[in-house]
Amino acid sequence: MENLNFFLPEIFLSISIFVTLLIGVFIKNSYGIVTKIIYAVIISSILIIGDNFNDNLTLFSNAYTSNSLTNFFKILILISSIFTLAISQNYIKENNINYFEYSLILLLSILGMFVMISSNDLILFYLGLELQSLSLYILASLDRDNLKSNEAGLKYFVLSALASGLLLYGCSLLYGFAGSTNFETINQNIDGKNIGQVVAMVFILVGLAFKVSAVPFHMWTPDVYEGSPSSVTSFFAVVPKIAGIAIFIRFMQIPFQGLVDHWQPILIFISLASMILGAVAAIGQENIKRLIAYSSIGHIGYALAGISTGVIEGYKSTIFYIAIYVIMNLAMFACIFLMKKDGKYCEKISDLSGISKKNPILSICLLIILFSLAGIPPLAGFFAKFYVFMAVIKENMYALAIVGLLSTVVSAFYYLRIIKVIYFDELQLPFDNIKNLSISITLFISCLILVSFFIYPSLLNNIIDVLSIN
């Protein structure tokens, strides 16, 4: 029973969800109060996790594990959830999607991610994954009266269900070969000599790649990003990606450790394809949310490049990458929530035209974020790429490194295009002057991190170095 301490975050989250649900149901117009409670819940969860951060242990006959790696990801998820919630409050209220279920479902998906990250067993993993995904389907179609939002939710649901089906099939196949659903037992019992084991692994990889929207399983991403309300998109672009990368690392590290020769070429292909597609397909986009969708596909490609090395340095560089990616995307969405003309939120890149004359602070923030996304030094995005390619080149994967870096040049083009629209084009209509403390704070903190990161890049590295990846 003492060990339940380590399951406390999940218990706490579930109880809070039920309690807040009751509050939400019994109080009218309860969005405000529910959201406030949920802030409190998230912050307390961070504290609870932080309390046992470094303890390494497994629970429920090895089905559940808690160590510094999972705790790091959980804290990252919680922190980015707070920020995505905080920056989107205005948007949520003004677009009349301020149902109390909104934040509640958000919390439910976080619970799903927690279970998924910590799972050490295929069944628990699948439970967590589905809890997360189901919550995300609802979130995507939350704007009930909007056709596009409905379409996004439905599309996401159908495609994701297919991916889950494949994943589940892979799991059952794996169980057949390994005789167990436990990750460690699977690792001991499979050796890759039987082709069936490889097939099982490929099915699971497909499911995982779908969840992080890596090519060729990315098709849903642009539509869902564009169709969902921006507040939900900001969540989609950040939080599930963290969880997806976390479970990717856990899978490659434990059950598939022995199959490294089999999954490495697959991951290299997925990574290369994502980088190239993310770079090329984004060029023609006019909608900024679609553009971010493609850019996030590209970024996932870089993150997966780190995993595809199959060594600890590679995993670390991926964790590093995803942390920086989260900061950049949060900042980007903070800017998107400031893009408002005549009381209406706009999403076209051409809407940004010439705004540097009237909104200098917003423009300079966008400048920093976009150059950082493009990976130009001395901004933080460069260091993220640098670490990944450090690991990749150490393993002598030169082709991956060179193609990856060349696709950063291509992707630099479309980031530059936005900067061109902001700074070089003529002003059409300035944005409304929005004063929102949480957006300003988010933007300020993230841009400060992006700019000043080069002064002491080891800070994040020191944290990642002590995580238990083995």
Partner 1 sequence: MNFPILSLITFLPIIGAFFIFIFSSDKTESKNSIYVSLFTSFVNLFLAIFLWYSFDKSTSEFQFIEQASWINGFIKFKFGIDGISILFIVLTAFITPICIISCINSIKQRLKEFLIAILVLESFMIGVFCSLDLVVFYLFFEAGLIPMFLIIGIWGGPRRVYAAFKFFLYTLLGSVLMLVAIISIYWITGTTDVNEIYQIKIPEEFQYLLWLAFFSSFAVKMPMWPVHTWLPDAHVEAPTAGSVILAAILLKMAGYGFLRFSVGMFPVASDYFVPFVYTLSIIAVIYTSLVALMQEDMKKLIAYSSVAHMGFVTLGIFTFTTQGIEGSIFQMISHGVISAALFLCVGVLYDRVHSRLINSYGGVVNILPKYSMLFAVFMLGALGLPGTSGFVGEILVLLGAFQKNYLVAILASIGIILGAGYMLWLYKRVIFGKLEKKELLDLKDLNYSEFSILFVLAVLTIIFGFYPNLILDTIHVSVEQLINNYQNNLILSTLK
| Positions in the binding site for partner 1 (CB under 8 A) | 371, 376-378, 382-383, 386, 389-390, 393-394, 398, 401-402, 405-406, 408-409, 412-413, 416, 419-420, 423-424, 454, 456-458, 461-462, 465
Query: Least distance in Å: CB of 387 to partner 1?
Result: 9
Query: Least distance in Å: CB of 465 to partner 1?
Result: 7
Query: Least distance in Å: CB of 194 to partner 1?
Result: 36
Contact 432, 358 (CB under 8 A): no
Nearer to partner 1 by Cβ, of 159 and 376: the residue is 376
Q: How far is CA 109 from CA 137, 236, 437, in A?
A: 10, 11, 26
Nearer to partner 1 by Cβ, of 60 and 424: the residue is 424
Nearer to partner 1 by Cβ, of 144 and 420: the residue is 420
Nearer to partner 1 by Cβ, of 111 and 324: the residue is 324
Query: Least distance in Å: CB of 470 to partner 1?
Result: 19
Query: Least distance in Å: CB of 382 to partner 1?
Result: 7
Query: Least distance in Å: CB of 384 to partner 1?
Result: 12
Query: Least distance in Å: CB of 113 to partner 1?
Result: 29
Phi and psi at residue 65, to the nearest 5°: -130, 150
Nearest to 293 by CA among 352, 349, 218, 345: 218
Nearer to partner 1 by Cβ, of 83 and 382: the residue is 382
- Region class of 432: left (phi > 0), else alpha (psi between -120 and 50), else beta: beta
Q: What is the DSSP string of 25-93?
A: HHSTT-HHHHHHHHHHHHHHHHHHHHHTTT--EEETTTTEEE-HHHHHHHHHHHHHHHHHHHHHHHHHH
Nearer to partner 1 by Cβ, of 61 and 458: the residue is 458
Contact 431, 355 (CB under 8 A): yes
Nearest to 394 by CA among 462, 466, 465, 313: 313
Contact 131, 240 (CB under 8 A): no
Q: How far is CA 79 from CA 15, 42, 94, 249, in A?
A: 20, 8, 24, 20
Nearer to partner 1 by Cβ, of 181 and 411: the residue is 411
Contact 214, 248 (CB under 8 A): no
Query: Least distance in Å: CB of 389 to partner 1?
Result: 6
CA atoms within 13 A on the CB side of 106: 33
Nearer to partner 1 by Cβ, of 99 and 386: the residue is 386
